[in-house]
Structure 1
Amino acid sequence: MKYADEFRDPTAAKALLARIADLTDEIGATSEKPVHIMEICGGHTHAIFRYGLDKLTPDGVEFIHGPGCPVCVLPMARVDECVQIAARPEVIFTTFGDAMRVPGTKTSLLQAKAAGADIRMVYSPLDALELARRNPEREVVFFGLGFETTTPSTALSIQQAAREELTNFSVFCNHITVPPPIKALLDDPHMLLDGFVGPGHVSMVIGTHPYDFIAQDYGKPIVVAGFEPLDLLQSVLMVLQQIRDGRAEVENQYARVVPEHGNPVSIAAIADVYETRPSFEWRGLGEIDHSGLRIRAKYSPFDAEEKFGIGYAAGERSVQEPEGCACGAVMTGRLKPTGCPQFGKGCTPEMPLGALMVSSEGACAAYYQYGGARAVEPAE
């Protein structure tokens, strides 16, 4: 496959793995502990297991699976509010397909649709805009969800709705940003981290400089990576080289896609439409300061939270995780997915219970699909 085969070349992969093994041995000569590298992006987690990179890399490299899927970290209270909005007879509720099966405390959007709510899957917020144009007598709500990758398209859609004065269109904003949870993880005294493989798609929008604090304030290396096997192996090698050399820098392995300063049009749209929330809940991690976005007051007619009086605008309260769910421990590296008492039992991709089993990019879903579905007891 043109433009993909060269990043999946077995000979090149073997050469990279040999260099990774040599560097791991070199680092291991001065430290008995494995090198803990967190991949921040759920797409990277999925690729690591799809291509068996966790098994090919030496034992001295330990992958920690970060909170890299916005569907996975969506709190149940927000799903409940989606269902609450969708249940209104005047509403057409629109969403990306991967959010349909996310469980709330009582039901999911898919189950609500089966019960009669007018919930429609769309490929873009522009599809929701078109529905609003065609149905002026209905309120069309778009479920704005995702990291900086999907945030610009929602912002541009809100700007377009404002230009058209399309006030029967609104967004239930659940967009979140990547740097604040990284800081929260680094501030966690129990977190074992030596370096990061940085997200490629997010960085395509925001560039590489938002990660400067990781190297400057915490002394940890980070390498922004692509999604093919050779991308990931090269990025791991680059992290190890920094550790061996005693360096902590932001490096860009994915330079063919990621510009240093990001996409200026996207950044401008985000700044115009959104402001940061004082705090936002991440499922499995809790409240994280300045990690969520909300729609600015000048665009309040297109803010579903204001329009329907729900969410943080109405004093939303968090919901406890299901009993036995260990997503927070998995995302902070204290536990592997198979160590969760619910893994493969009360929590499967068909009936997800925890945050990390909901999406195919969640660590638990990746373990289940590629790492073997058999649950194991936690180590003593």
Structure 2
Amino acid sequence: MRFLDEYRDARAAKRLLDTIARTATRPWTMMEVCGGQTHAIVKYGLDRLLPSTIELVHGPGCPVCVTSIEMIDRAHAIAARPEVTFCSFGDMVRVPGSEGNLLERKAQGADVRIVYSPLDAVALAAARPDRQVVFFAIGFETTSPATALAARMARMRRLDNFSMLVGHVLVPPVMTAILQAQSNRVQGFLGPGHVCTVMGYREYEPIARHYRTPIVVTGFEPVDMLEGILGLLRLLEAGDARVENQYRRAVCREGNPRARELLDEVFEVCDRKWRGVGTIPKSGFRLSYEYRGLDAERRFEGGEVVTRESPECISGQVLKGVKKPRDCPAFGVRCTPRTPLGAPMVSSEGACAAYYAYARLEPPARAAQGGAT
């Protein structure tokens, strides 16, 4: 299959690994930004095949994982209202808030429904004018255009019973926050390919220049990842802090102009709190003034939200690349996909879920050539 089989070719991967081993002259720490990349790395064991001089750390690239507990608790409060049909992507219904999750709210009688697109929620609102239909809009820039399209359609159809709880977050500000942190060890980034299909990579160029940190926009198959690692390694070895694009078959520098125009119409940038990280300035989307009538927070005002996190969960340190999932004493014992203490064990893009799914329960023994993690 074109663009798939060739990016899973074992011989190509072996050649790239050999080139990486010859190119690395000193230790380097790289962060993959996207949760899909984390799962590819762990699933295919790429981190264990790399030379010991290269360490991969996992970033805050799982949008479910970084949705603040305040936002989740607010979602639970809205979902509990008798007049509301609350629509969410499947990952979000099992994410723990201060008191349980949305599936438990559903078991208690709340009308919670899993949808596969925000347009499904718009269709439901049109079919059920007697219900207040709320869509829980989370995700990075990748999913934001679909949310914006749903908002535009609901407004055009004058669906007064449709609204959105918007928790979209943006990648460049969190990369900047990571580089500014005292605990930062990241020397280069594997950039988020899916986000860049929408936004392009122009906004990453000032980050690379200012922080002297190279970035390589990378795809998601094993050969994609190894090509991205090799490209980033060559930039690091040369002291060249710029942005390169490995994922050229899907990404261009300008991104998708029509999607960006739609985002500019429907959203405005705002400060956003990230779970386990804290508030990052200008790191989220909220509905613009023209679309404020669709804002579920305004429609269902509930006052202050008092939150409670698990004291055992170290997801914030995992999301910032400071620790790995298996550094958590609860990992795989008190925190499993059936009994998650934090979002990274729930989401299909969470680092903890990847380590659990692919049996990364213990630190690996280093092979003769070395392993990164």
TM-score, structure 1 as length reference: 0.93
Q: CA deviation at 1:373?
A: 3.0
Look up the match of 1:366: 354
Partners of 2:113 and 2:5 lie apart in 1 by 36
Q: CA deviation at 1:85?
A: 0.8
Aligned residues: CA RMSD: 1.5
What per-residue deviation string (whole Å, max 9, x for no partner) do you get for residues 153-195 of structure 1? 1111111111111111111001111111111000002100110
Q: CA deviation at 1:15?
A: 0.3
Aligned residue type for 2:255 = G
Match of 2:171 among 169, 172, 178: 178
Partners of 1:375 and 1:353 lie apart in 2 by 21
Match of 2:269 among 262, 272, 276: 276
Q: CA deviation at 1:372?
A: 2.6
Q: Where in structure 1 are there 5+ consecutive unaligned residues?
A: 29-33
Instruction: State whether residues 223 and 235 of structure 1, in contact with CA within 8 Å, keep that contact through their aligned partners in structure 2.
Output: yes
Match of 1:324 among 272, 295, 312: 312
Q: CA deviation at 1:356?
A: 1.8
Look up the match of 1:127: 120
Instruction: State whether residues 30 and 187 of structure 2, in contact with CA within 8 Å, keep that contact through their aligned partners in structure 1.
Output: yes
Q: 1:30-41 residue pairs with structure 2 within 5 A? A: 34-41=27-34
Partners of 2:172 and 2:95 lie apart in 1 by 24
| Residues 220, 374 of structure 1: alpha-carbon distance in 2 compared, 3 angstrom cutoff | closer
1:71 is paired with a residue of what secondary structure?
helix
**Structure 1 stretch 223-232 or stretch 344-353: which is displaced more?**
344-353
**Count of residues paired in the alignment:** 364
Q: CA deviation at 1:347?
A: 1.1
Q: Which has the higher contact order (CA 8 A, sep 6+)?
A: 2
**2:81 matched to 1:88?**
yes
What per-residue deviation string (whole Å, max 9, x for no partner) do you get for residues 179-213 of structure 1? 11111000002100110000011000000111112
Match of 2:327 among 321, 336, 339: 339
Percent identity of paired positions between Structure 1 and Structure 2: 49
Partners of 2:351 and 2:126 lie apart in 1 by 39
1:291 is paired with a residue of what secondary structure?
strand
Aligned residue type for 1:113 = K
Aligned residue type for 1:13 = A
Aligned residue type for 2:267 = Y
Aligned residue type for 1:288 = I
Look up the match of 2:367: none
Match of 1:73 among 60, 66, 75: 66
Q: CA deviation at 1:315?
A: 5.1
Instruction: State whether residues 17 and 57 of structure 1, in contact with CA within 8 Å, keep that contact through their aligned partners in structure 2.
Output: yes
**2:54 matched to 1:61?**
yes
Instruction: State whether residues 98 and 309 of structure 2, in contact with CA within 8 Å, keep that contact through their aligned partners in structure 1.
Output: no
Look up the match of 2:98: 105
Look up the match of 1:262: 255
Q: CA deviation at 1:321?
A: 3.0
Look up the match of 1:42: 35
Partners of 1:22 and 1:338 lie apart in 2 by 30
Aligned residue type for 2:276 = G
1:92 is paired with a residue of what secondary structure?
strand
Look up the match of 1:296: 288
Q: Where in structure 2 are there 5+ consecutive unaligned residues?
A: 365-373
Partners of 1:282 and 1:55 lie apart in 2 by 30
1:334 is paired with a residue of what secondary structure?
coil
